């Protein structure tokens, strides 16, 4: 049975975001969600499921990783670590 590939995202009980957990084959979205339930939530991993057909996901090009990501390497000033926090501000 040749069926399209789907990417599965699960939100855990504590989590606020859906995290990518893997992929599976299914004929349609309903079947994909049911299969995701059976394959990826058997051990109480989640309370919500998203699926999206893999073909709808567009990815950055690994060959461009250098020009994409390396320039951020030496921009340490982008990290909010240079601010002096007043003593009154707690829990930061």
Partner 1 sequence: MHGDNTTDYLLFLADSSLIMGQRLSEWTGHGPMLEQDIAITNISLDTIGQARYFYQLAAKRQNEKAGGSEVTEDTLAYLRDAHQYRNLLLTELPNGDWGQTILKIYFYANWQKLIYGKLIYTSDKDIAAIADKALKEVQYHVNWSSDWVKRLGDGTAESHERMERALEYLWPYTGEMFMETDYESPQFERDKDFSLDTIRKEWTEEVYHTLQEATLTLPQADTFMHKGGKKGVHTEYLGYILAEMQFLQRAYPGCEW
Residues of the shown chain interacting with partner 1 in the complex, contacts defined by CB under 8 A: 1, 3, 24-27, 30-31, 34-35, 38-39, 42
- Which residue, 43 or 56, is less far from partner 1 as judged by CB? 43
- Which residue, 39 or 47, is less far from partner 1 as judged by CB? 39
The distance of closest approach from Cβ of residue 66 to partner 1 in the complex, given in angstroms and rounded to an integer, is: 37
- Which residue, 3 or 54, is less far from partner 1 as judged by CB? 3
The distance of closest approach from Cβ of residue 80 to partner 1 in the complex, given in angstroms and rounded to an integer, is: 44
Helical H segments across 1-92, by residue range: 29-40, 65-69
Instruction: Please state, as a whole number, how many other Cβ atoms lie within 10 Å of the Cβ of residue 70.
Output: 9
User: Cα separation of 13 and 47, whole Å?
Assistant: 6
Structure tokens at 31: 């079947």
Phi, psi of 24, rounded to the nearest 5 degrees: -160, 170
């Amino acid at each position: 049975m040749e069926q399209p590939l789907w990417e599965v995202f699960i939100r855990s009980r504590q989590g606020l975001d859906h995290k990518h957990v893997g992929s599976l084959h299914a004929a349609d979205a309903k079947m994909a969600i049911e299969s995701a339930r059976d394959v990826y939530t058997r051990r109480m991993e989640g309370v919500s499921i998203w699926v999206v057909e893999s073909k709808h996901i567009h990815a950055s090009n690994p060959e461009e990783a250098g020009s994409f990501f390396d320039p951020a390497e030496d921009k340490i000033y982008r990290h909010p670590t240079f601010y002096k926090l007043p003593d009154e501000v707690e829990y930061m």
